[in-house]
């Protein structure tokens, strides 16, 4: 693949990841900038907290779609014969990581975005859907038991490389395992404030079975 095409596809992945769904959706439909409320984070979790379940779900699905679409650029290049099968996983990881970077540092809103969990999920769904579904199950069970989104996110992220390592769903792929552990470290770094609050016992809980709030401008 030519250098020019690599640059164009990486830029496309970054711009996809940079779409600030929580900011644009919140301002466009509710007249509310989620960055000025709650945790101040421009992600799905803060959208759930500020704008309610319906808005949070919309933002989360868009963020997942961003990661899935950016990662799937590699599949498109493969089917067009521009990259080989041995390169496919590498390019999926590259494009997916670039999309996550775009979500965390979005060019459209002064490089202040979310933590990238939903976008990471979309990436993993494009790379290994079966393993992604197991991680989603771990996330949901942890969230039901603890009501901590941050803890659920970190455990689900850790589950990906661990389950890859033990070969639960096929032969272990070293590149996938390394990627998984690197992503877990990055997720821990982006959640360092949450970790401090978890240790101190003052992390915000999410009542997933409670009534959805009606946002006020």
Looking at 91, 111, 127, the residue that finishes a domain is 127
Q: Is the same domain home to 99 and 26? A: yes
Query: 102-120 burial, b if ≥16 CB within 10 A, otherwise e?
Result: bbbbbeebeeebbbbbbbb
Residue 213 has a pLDDT of 52
**In the predicted model, is pLDDT for residue 186 greater than 60?**
yes
Closest CA to 161 of 189, 198, 196, 120: 120
Q: Is the same domain home to 6 and 101? A: yes
Each residue's pLDDT tens digit, 7-42: 999 999 999 999 999 999 999 999 999 999 988 888
Kindly state the DSSP code that residue 37 receives in the 8-state scheme: S
Residue 204 has a pLDDT of 82
* Domain contains 213: no
Distance in angstroms (rounded) separating the CA atoms of residues 131 and 163: 8
**In the predicted model, is pLDDT for residue 1 greater than 80?**
no
Closest CA to 124 of 80, 78, 166, 163: 163
Q: Is the same domain home to 79 and 165? A: no
**Residue 8 tokens, joined:** 């164009």
Residue 15 has a pLDDT of 97
Each residue's pLDDT tens digit, 156-171: 999 999 998 887 767 7
* Domain contains 15: yes
Looking at 127, 146, 164, the residue that finishes a domain is 127
Q: Is the same domain home to 116 and 143? A: no
* Domain contains 38: yes
Q: Is the same domain home to 120 and 142? A: no
Q: What percent of the chain stands above pLDDT 70?
A: 94
Model confidence band, residue 217 (pLDDT cutoffs 50, 70, 90): very low
Kindly state the DSSP code that residue 173 receives in the 8-state scheme: -
Distance in angstroms (rounded) separating the CA atoms of residues 145 and 137: 12
Residue 73 has a pLDDT of 97
Q: Domain residues for 41?
A: 1-127
| 40 CB burial (10 A radius; 0-12, 13-18, 19+) | exposed
Model confidence band, residue 211 (pLDDT cutoffs 50, 70, 90): low
Mean pLDDT of 182-211: 84
DSSP 3-state of 134: helix
Q: Give the length of the chain.
A: 217
Q: Is the same domain home to 4 and 105? A: yes
Q: Is the same domain home to 98 and 34? A: yes
Residue 208 has a pLDDT of 62
* Domain contains 216: no
Measured in whole angstroms, the distance separating CA 34 from the mean position of its chain's CA atoms is 18
Residue reference for tokens 């792929």: 173
Mean pLDDT value across the chain: 89
Query: In the chain, how many domains are there?
Result: 2
**Residue 39 tokens, joined:** 């945790």
Q: Is the same domain home to 89 and 23? A: yes
Each residue's pLDDT tens digit, 67-122: 999 999 999 999 999 999 989 999 999 999 999 999 999 999 989 888 888 999 99
**In the predicted model, is pLDDT for residue 150 greater than 80?**
yes
**In the predicted model, is pLDDT for residue 53 greater than 70?**
yes
Looking at 94, 127, 160, the residue that finishes a domain is 127
């Amino acid at each position: 693949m030519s250098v020019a095409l690599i640059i164009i596809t990486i830029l496309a992945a970054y711009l996809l990841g940079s779409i600030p769904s929580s900011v644009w959706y919140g301002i466009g439909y509710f007249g509310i900038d989620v960055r000025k409320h709650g945790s101040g984070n421009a992600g799905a979790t803060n959208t759930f907290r500020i704008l309610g379940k319906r808005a949070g779900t919309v933002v989360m699905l868009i963020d997942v779609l961003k990661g899935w679409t950016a990662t799937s650029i590699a599949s498109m290049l493969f089917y067009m014969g521009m990259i080989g099968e041995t390169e496919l996983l590498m390019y999926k990881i590259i494009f997916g990581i670039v999309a996550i970077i775009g979500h965390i540092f979005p060019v459209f809103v002064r490089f202040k975005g979310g933590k990238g969990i939903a976008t990471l999920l979309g990436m993993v769904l494009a790379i290994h859907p079966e393993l992604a579904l197991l991680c989603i199950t771990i996330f949901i069970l942890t969230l039901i038991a603890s009501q901590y989104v941050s803890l659920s996110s970190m455990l689900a992220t850790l589950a990906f490389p661990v389950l890859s390592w033990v070969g639960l769903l096929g032969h272990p792929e070293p590149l996938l395992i390394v990627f998984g552990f690197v992503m877990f470290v990055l997720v821990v770094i982006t959640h360092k404030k949450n970790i401090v609050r978890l240790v101190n016992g003052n992390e915000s809980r999410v009542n997933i079975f409670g009534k959805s709030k009606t946002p006020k401008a």
